[in-house]
Amino acid sequence: MRQSRIAACTASLLLAAACAFADPATAEVPQTAAAEYVALGDSYSAGVGAGAYLPSGTGCKRSSRAYPVLWAEVHSPSSFSFAACNGARASDVLTDQLDRLGARTRLVTLTVGGSDSGFATVMTVCALGGGTRCASAVSSARATMDGPLAENLNRLYTTIRNRAPSAHVVVLGYPHLYHLRGACVVGLPEAQRSAINAAVDHLNEVIAKRAVDHGFTFADVTGTFAGHEICSSRPWLHSVDVLAITESYHPTAPGQSLGYLPVLSRVT
C-alpha cells in the first residue's frame, strides 16, 4: 500500500511538472535596434532551473546563470539581447523573439523544439499510463518531430537567416534526461527512461538536420551531460521538485555553466 501511495504521488508530481512547462509566456523583449548577440529559444536557453532569475520579463524566468548570459559575460559583445522564454515553441520564437535581429547581428543562439514535440504529454502518459501507453506517447511525439516540428523549424530558421544575414547561428540540442542503470529507486521504470532518452536523440537529429540545411551550426550537449543526468550521482538536471515544479526536468546552474556553456564556447 505504501508503494502505491509513493507511485501515485510521483505520478501526480510528474503530471504537474509536465504541465508547468507546457504553456509559453510572452517574451517581453522591447523593439529596439538590432543587437550583436541575440539569445533566442525556450526554457533551456532562458535558464529555467538555474535560479537567480532576472527581474525583467519574470514570466519567462530568464536566469543570470543561463549559458547565453555566461557567454556574454566572457566575450563582452557590443550589445546583447536575451529574448529566450520559458515554454516557448518554434512559433513563439518566430512571432515574439526576433525583433532584435538585424544586419549587425553577429551571433544568434537558441534551443527550441522540446515543447513543440509534446514532451509534457510524454512525461504525463509515461508516469500514469504504463509501458504500452508510454511507448505510444513516445511514438506520437516522434511523429510530431518529423512532421509539424520540422516544418515550423524550417520557417523559423529561414526567417532568422533573412533577418540576420551575417550572423553565426548556433542551434543547441537537449541532453538525455536520465542516467540509465542509475541510483533512482522510484519513478519511471528503466525501459521508459530509455525510451525517453531515445526520443531526445530523435529530437536532436530532427533539429540538427534542419539547422545544417540552413547553414547553421548544431551543437550537441549529450556528451557534456553524460554522467550528470537525472539518476546519476551528480545530476545537472532537476528531477521532480514539488517546491519548484516549473524547474523539473531543467538544467541546474552547473548544467548551464558546465553542460551548455563549454559546448557553445567550442563552436564560437
Q: Which pLDDT does position 239 carry in this prediction?
A: 86
Q: Which of 191, 187, 203, 194 is nearest to 238 (CA)?
A: 187
Asked about 250 being catalytic, the answer comes back as yes
Class of the CATH-defined domain 2-263: alpha beta
- Which is catalytic among the residues 238, 250, 257, 265? 250
Please identify which residue in the block is written with the cell numbers 539581447: 81
Q: Which pLDDT does position 86 carry in this prediction?
A: 95
Q: Strand 107-110: give its sheet, edge to edge.
A: 80-82, 37-39, 107-110, 168-172, 217-219
Q: Which pLDDT does position 1 carry in this prediction?
A: 43
* pLDDT tens sequence for the chain (268 residues): 444 444 444 444 454 444 444 455 444 444 457 899 999 999 999 999 999 999 987 899 999 999 999 999 999 999 999 999 999 999 999 999 999 999 999 999 999 999 999 887 887 788 777 788 888 989 999 999 999 999 999 999 999 999 999 999 999 999 999 999 888 878 888 999 999 999 999 999 999 999 999 999 999 999 999 999 999 999 999 987 777 778 888 999 999 999 999 999 999 9
Domain borders along the chain are 2-263
- Which is catalytic among the residues 43, 45, 117, 239? 43
Alpha-carbon distance 9 to 29, whole Å?
38
Q: Which pLDDT does position 252 carry in this prediction?
A: 97
Q: Which pLDDT does position 32 carry in this prediction?
A: 59
